[in-house]
Chains A and B, each alone.
Chain A
């Protein structure tokens, strides 16, 4: 079937190119045999998502190039939507356009099982002082597929509960909440408390939660925290689909209750940007979002303006959070695998990772999050300890070769329920049926 690859490339390249967003032109890759990588000059082309973490990596990379004069790095930074297509076309081509790629959590199993990625076990075993086990366990596990390591953590995007701490500490609100509910106003640790707190704040003129029920990825990512808190999951330990069980039903009913009675009106299509705007403008009291949004919100010249410093990060209600992560990986068809690993090992080494996190990058290593220098120069001890707690008790958004499809299909059904197009039972039944059909495909 090798000919099919070429047929596909000839026939579908134009289609893929038309769908992909424009990006910087790819730099020429100097082909080198692995044995020559250390000696001969090599240019590594790296695909990146255009996010703040990329800026930090790009800035650190100058240091790498100074230390490794034979390896030149060029980045092809682009929006998220364009990345998967580009990685796929590069992986299907006889020679790779990218020598290093970053892989999002839902793509890891898919790309590894498709044979696109190079196993990194031997590289990791040979790397001196690399300490792979220093990466937080759940993060590390995302890069392991069928017992082999295909990815090394780049940054995490586990979810936490970000709150306006000043509202929770306000004596007036505390007294009113005590009077109404007979208990102190505290950052919620259960779904019941979260909904109650959300409704309470709405009754005080502040929306209880800036939610993200947007169809597909966003609602799946947010609601799955509710699902965990209700004791549910997508699949049970045996791999059976259980997204239509009683726990899921309870989680979705409570989620919709919160949306209808505590979230800003007409926010059924809200995603990350809208929720962030709502929090930073002081419109909402809480949101479930990426843990690293806290420093952004508390930045004196950041989006929250005068509210900067009033936000705090906590574990999500129920404790167990949805974990997302990007991993560094090496495409199997690159001609510069050794040089690629040299770069990955450098950028994820303890010393450089520490610099990355101090500069504002999302942490991945336990030692870095427990480092006093990081606490002092970064965002404080409490922040890193909370992030570590969140990461240690987190579970990936979805696993398996069809994670992307499951996330989107289930997310569509969940959004239908929030929008009132389907009732909770029908939406979950449809989500379960679609998930079973997706998993049953050969």
Chain B
């Protein structure tokens, strides 16, 4: 008896596969196609093939693109490392049974994560505003003047806003990691007279490393997409000091309507992120193999 070309189980997943092709496959294929064209929204009729020259021009001649990529990497570096440090400290604190009101703090500390980033951006735009802001006003009363959005400070300010919003995410993952660690090695270490610092350095941190790597990868991928704070607060300024890659792509694609060039930049960004992810997963895999 001939087997039907599609078994029942295959037919069951077919609608999902078709939906994925339509929702993900088509836009990806179309954006790849236009990334190889001089494709402008105000001159679609004149779209012309330019091939890989589009990519070459961006990589070799577009200083603004590299500046934006550099800003993004700096932003991710500052934000994610601070989030990791604060997230780990808070997780350790909330993991201690002796910490008062720890269940309340667990819930309260998660609140920033639930606010939409554009609202967070607008909120900090006013909080840090030199004319109206509470923060500069309080600092002035203490004799401290900080220009939060100067060329030297603005990117750090945006990273600190990201830290305020996303440290809770890091806290959540690390706390879950801490609570899943076995008790016995810690009890044995305490019996052997290890200090809390030694326990943290030689037990907690190594055992928590896979969780830390996973948390860092997830936050890095998310932080690479930073756009809302830039749009709501600095619009990339002063100069190009806070122009991140997503904002740059938005500017080229939707402000200047050069969709072909913006698509090519997006593909380059995907390649950069993929490389980072592969490297981190490689590290993660090596870590898990070494623990077997």
B239 pairs with A88, CB closer than 8 A: no
Q: Is A16 an interface residue (CB 8 A)?
A: yes
Q: Which residue of A lies closest to B257 (CB)?
A: A88
> What is the CA–CA distance of A11 and B23 in the complex, to the nearest angstrom?
9
Q: Which residue of A lies closest to B44 (CB)?
A: A4
Partner of B150, one of A215, A266, A412: A266
A415-434 near B? 1/0 per residue, CB < 8 Å: 11011111000000000000
Question: What is the CB-to-nearest-CB distance from B42 to chain A, in angstroms, rounded to a whole number?
Answer: 4
Q: Which residue of B lies closest to A20 (CB)?
A: B254
Question: What is the CB-to-nearest-CB distance from B237 to chain A, in angstroms, rounded to a whole number?
Answer: 3
A16 pairs with B254, CB closer than 8 A: yes
Binds A, one of B26-34, B90-98, B190-198: B26-34
> What is the CA–CA distance of A401 and B238 in the complex, to the nearest angstrom?
26
Q: Is A5 an interface residue (CB 8 A)?
A: yes
Q: Is A246 an interface residue (CB 8 A)?
A: no
Q: Is A66 an interface residue (CB 8 A)?
A: no
B151 pairs with A420, CB closer than 8 A: yes
Partner of A405, one of B131, B234, B254, B256: B256
Binds B, one of A53-61, A97-105, A267-275: A267-275
Residue from A10, A15, A278 whose CB has the most chain B CB atoms within 10 Å: A15
B110-154 near A? 1/0 per residue, CB < 8 Å: 000000000000000000011110000000000001010111000
Partner of A412, one of B31, B46, B239, B254: B239
B44 pairs with A214, CB closer than 8 A: no
Partner of B31, one of A11, A16, A116: A11
Task: Give the size range of B's interface with the partner.
Answer: 35 or more
B241 pairs with A421, CB closer than 8 A: yes
Residues of chain A within 8 A (CB-CB) of B47 are 1, 4
> What is the CA–CA distance of A397 and B141 in the complex, to the nearest angstrom?
42
B256 pairs with A404, CB closer than 8 A: yes
> What is the CA–CA distance of A352 and B27 in the complex, to the nearest angstrom?
48
Partner of B239, one of A114, A265, A405, A415: A415
> What is the CA–CA distance of A400 and B235 in the complex, to the nearest angstrom?
24
A76-117 near B? 1/0 per residue, CB < 8 Å: 000000001100100010000000000000000011011010
> What is the CA–CA distance of A114 and B45 in the complex, to the nearest angstrom?
9
Question: What is the CB-to-nearest-CB distance from A41 to chain B, in angstroms, rounded to a whole number?
Answer: 33
| Chain A contact residues, majority secondary structure | helix
Q: Is B259 an interface residue (CB 8 A)?
A: yes
B131 pairs with A278, CB closer than 8 A: yes
Q: Which residue of B lies closest to A216 (CB)?
A: B235
Q: Is B168 an interface residue (CB 8 A)?
A: no
> What is the CA–CA distance of A114 and B46 in the complex, to the nearest angstrom?
10
Question: What is the CB-to-nearest-CB distance from A112 to chain B, in angstroms, rounded to a whole number?
Answer: 10
> What is the CA–CA distance of A278 and B235 in the complex, to the nearest angstrom?
21
B241 pairs with A419, CB closer than 8 A: yes
A269 and B256 in contact, given A19-B250, A421-B151 (Cβ under 8 angstroms): no
Residues of chain A within 8 A (CB-CB) of B132 are 277
Partner of A5, one of B26, B30, B44: B44
B254 pairs with A215, CB closer than 8 A: no
B19-50 near A? 1/0 per residue, CB < 8 Å: 00000001100110000001001111111000
A408 pairs with B254, CB closer than 8 A: no
Contacts of A247-306 to chain B: CB distance below 8 A:
264-269, 274, 277-278
Binding site for B on A (CB under 8 A): 1, 4-5, 7-8, 10-12, 14-16, 19, 84-85, 88, 92, 110-111, 113-114, 116, 214-216, 264-269, 274, 277-278, 401-402, 404-405, 408, 412-413, 415-416, 418-422, 442
- A-B contact sample (5 more), CB < 8 A, given A268-B237, A412-B237, A415-B239: A5-B44, A8-B44, A268-B151, A274-B131, A421-B239
